[in-house]
Structure 1
């Protein structure tokens, strides 16, 4: 999920929304863990743009309606490392929020003892996280086998495809039953050249981790072993990266980095898909709004194909309780509410994201949203829940990802072989994974 989700952080000035809504907040060190009998004000920190702010306010207002004694003060901020650093510093100083939105940073906060484990609260509330969110998504927010955040939004990466281009090529629409061979065969038929130039591409490969890592996991590969040691340079991963890189350089059914650059700065799969120049792309829920806005674009979505096994990434956000909160029990009540059907519904109604709760993903409100301009296979998200893999979200995630990105980009520019790229990554990850270990 997480979103994660490119962190989808539209820069917003750090601001507090007091208004007449409930918000969650706190300061000082953690106090007695019992719900408050009288009025209590909490603070909640989150990132995002205007839509995210609106939806959080609505959801917190609903929580306030259920728990009238709890008021929440919402703090919106830009996402990314700046968000993590500011919140981490505030918690260390005893002035952190009561509730905080987290994604890839969850393990880093947990490793520094800055957020509370929620296992006892989950048990006391009799929540079945696997039933609510699927077998994998809750694990994304675990550290040392303890639950540190509750999934809030978690849309699997799915396959967007141009139905018109498929029909013109006489190719059957994609399904979860597709194999790599099916993907390649379709991509060949869907790549069209005129006068030696590509008019449309069948598929797209890029250096963003959810793309290439998905192929590794589909081929039975891993990034870290059960003890947290790198296991990157394996036959499974090398074969996956060779197959992945060949789509651009050998099969020529995907743009190379140079091809993407020739389309203009900032152009990627989403833009080419919207222009009708790309038949298939892997992307998330966020692209629905963009695809909906393109006049004449006939499209739909499907779960991803499989390799040796099904696998897809997800972008995710979870809600955690700060170690500095004086009202952890009250904060938990709000988080529990926001994880339920009523608390997740505004996510759907405002087309903000895919709700993490799989039961909500199966609801008519999500499958046939009121804002949809066309029939879309929204079941693709819930149908992908069991295939979501847990990425190696260690406290060294950012440092690890930089090592990967630097070398995967060299591979995708055809400057090093997949074997060389993964050997270098394996060598350089050793010291990285020992940091703070």
Structure 2
């Protein structure tokens, strides 16, 4: 009887430590200081880690921020080769998970953290699963969406925000305009940010079967060839400018990440109103591919790895997860928090739209070919826009 009581008490204490995010006290009481290197590419997550640092005297987090997942990934590969990897790294799920695992630098998620996987949405845990293990703790993520300028839609009599690709083409064709009649397009129907590979992967992945569809992939590239070269409602080779084009009212629609919502709201201000809709998925049942953010523990000594895990667990704390949508424009990884936010009635119209779209996420584990797909589809998109008559050479 006593043994059972002590066991239950131990489990309760372990759970309290996990969700409080408090690190082991060893080294704090005797005044020791520990420095840890953390790499991330979502600057909005930095304040959470800084808050954790303040709550834990003696812990110094040296945080380095990168402009994108690709920039962090490339630098991380160099650091691994030089035996200079950080203790903790934020990693994206779109590609690279398998490659980091294969290099032997990433530690699998520990049992204490994995035991709470039932609180994290399955699409998030699957995104960092490879070879039968989970390699990063999901914190949040974003979904591909279509933003639409209500003012331009109204002026062009383009109807409601589009729900499918056919509607996007119709609306884009009405919105595109040469305002001053100088032979140059002043307002584009549709623009897209540089993550076109994400768009094509969403078109090709069949969540129902967990397979890739070559016909849908070719159809996706064909659709963009039409937009750029036939309908001419999308500018070629201007993906880096897409966000600013939409902000300044120079594009009717923008395909981008749901995380861009806060940036658009900030810089658009009251110039015009805009809507958010899910990226169309053709005529099939299935979910959208998530761009998940996870934090991984890099190989180091046992004490540093334990401290790294505790720091990462803090980001699963209820308060942190609840604040993610407002503070970082990220969908929280914890399903219970996501449900609570939707039921709260405290979300804005656009935040509610994003959280509702997030209920349609696909469950897709990391694959070794994800990086090849991303690089290949990005290169082929550039080729298509540079040489419209060229053939598309892609593989699943």
Task: Tell whether the structures are fold-level matches, with TM greater than 0.5.
Answer: yes
Which residue of structure 1 lines up, in the alignment, with residue 202 of structure 2? 214
| Alignment pair present for 1:158 and 2:145 | yes
Task: Give the distance between the partners of 1:59 and 1:282, measured in 2 at CA.
Answer: 35
Task: Give the distance between the partners of 1:377 and 1:355, measured in 2 at CA.
Answer: 16
Question: CA distance change for structure 1 residues 82 and 244 in 2, over 3 Å: closer, same or farther?
Answer: closer
- Going by fraction, where is helix more abundant, 1 or 2? 2
| Alignment pair present for 1:248 and 2:191 | no
Which residue of structure 2 lines up, in the alignment, with residue 268 of structure 1? 241
| Alignment pair present for 1:318 and 2:294 | yes
**Equivalent residue of 1:107, what SS?**
helix
Cα deviation, 1:345-402, whole Å, max 9, x if unaligned, reads: 4544534644433444455599757xxxxx5411232222244457785456555533
C-alpha displacement of 1:142: 1.4
List runs of 5+ in structure 1 lacking aligned partners. 1-22, 25-34, 226-230, 261-265, 370-374, 430-437
Which residue of structure 2 lines up, in the alignment, with residue 4 of structure 1? none
C-alpha displacement of 1:147: 0.6
| Alignment pair present for 1:286 and 2:260 | yes
Equivalenced residue count is 358
Cα deviation, 1:209-253, whole Å, max 9, x if unaligned, reads: 12333333379998xx6xxxxx68x32322222123212222222
**Equivalent residue of 2:39, what SS?**
strand
Task: Give the distance between the partners of 2:254 and 2:204, measured in 1 at CA.
Answer: 17
C-alpha displacement of 1:148: 0.6
Question: CA distance change for structure 1 residues 136 and 391 in 2, over 3 Å: closer, same or farther?
Answer: closer
Which residue of structure 2 lines up, in the alignment, with residue 12 of structure 1? none
Cα deviation, 1:329-353, whole Å, max 9, x if unaligned, reads: 4433332331232233454453464
TM-score by length of 2: 0.75
Cα deviation, 1:66-118, whole Å, max 9, x if unaligned, reads: xx8x835233254434431354246xx4x754433222433222112222222
Which residue of structure 2 lines up, in the alignment, with residue 379 of structure 1? 352
**Equivalent residue of 1:254, what SS?**
coil
For residue 109 of structure 2, the aligned residue among 101, 118, 123 is 118
Which residue of structure 2 lines up, in the alignment, with residue 127 of structure 1? 117
**Equivalent residue of 2:251, what SS?**
coil
Cα deviation, 1:256-305, whole Å, max 9, x if unaligned, reads: 33xx4xxxxx8522111011111111112135224422341322322223
C-alpha displacement of 1:154: 0.6
Task: Give the distance between the partners of 1:312 and 1:197, measured in 2 at CA.
Answer: 35
**Equivalent residue of 1:170, what SS?**
coil
Is the Cα–Cα contact under 8 Å of residues 123 and 364 in structure 2 kept in the other structure? Answer: no
Q: CA RMSD in A?
A: 3.8
Question: CA distance change for structure 1 residues 75 and 388 in 2, over 3 Å: closer, same or farther?
Answer: same
Which residue of structure 2 lines up, in the alignment, with residue 179 of structure 1? 164
Task: Give the distance between the partners of 1:172 and 1:219, measured in 2 at CA.
Answer: 30
